[in-house]
Structure 1
Amino acid sequence: MAMEEYMIPCLNKKIFGIDCPGCGTQRAIALIFRGEFVDAFHMFPAIYTTILFFIVIGLNFIDRTRNYHKAIISLAIINAMIMVISYIYKITN
């Protein structure tokens, strides 16, 4: 894939030789742009909650009349849980 040439390497993987909880995010985003949604989920299971999280943060900056703080905190917790669970699954299998 030509896009992989421009991706930032994982510093944790380079230094310690193991994946970090965020490994696969860039490739998952590239897969989404190519329309491979299931493969993106398999690459990084928290990709869709991460995208939703950043959309809500963007809405918070754009629409100052509404309070998005509860949604942001809820999405952050859900996203973190998915990342930790999928990371544990990845390193144990």
Structure 2
Amino acid sequence: MEEYMLPCFSKKFFGIECFGCGTQRALVLLFQGEFKAAFLMFPAIYTLIPLFGFIALHYLDKSRNYHRAIISLGITNAVIMVVSYFIKHFFN
């Protein structure tokens, strides 16, 4: 499955992982039922999926307002990504 995944250009060209590195592998692990391994691969995966769900609902269901959910999940996701990035690279 990894042969079909998109490469990380930051890691490829600069040798440094980006904040989103591990997202595709974590998603595959989720589909395989490896929930703990998915979290360890990319901790923000559990906020990223609802975020994309609310973004899709925002475009599909115009009768409701999803801005607050999108903004709060986006901020939460960004904080988790930054914190996990620094823990992964500077404290391990």
TMscore range, shorter length: over 0.9
Runs of 4 or more above 4 Å deviation: none
C-alpha distance after superposition, 1:41-69 (max 9, x if no partner): 00000001000100011111111111000
Whether 1:53 aligns to 2:51 is: yes
Q: Distance in 1 between matches of 2:69 and 2:28?
A: 26
Alignment match, 1:73? 71
What are the ranges of 5 or more consecutive residues in structure 1 without an aligned counterpart?
none
Q: Let me know the Cα RMSD of the aligned residues.
A: 0.6
Look up the match of 1:82.
Answer: 80
Q: CA deviation at 1:40?
A: 0.4
The answer as to 2:22 corresponding to 1:32 is: no
Unaligned regions of 5+ residues in structure 2, if any?
none
- What is the CA–CA distance in structure 1 between the aligned matches of 2:19 and 2:88, rounded to whole Å? 9
TM-score (norm 2): 0.96
Q: Which amino acid aligns with 2:12?
A: K
Q: TM-score, normalised by structure 1?
A: 0.95
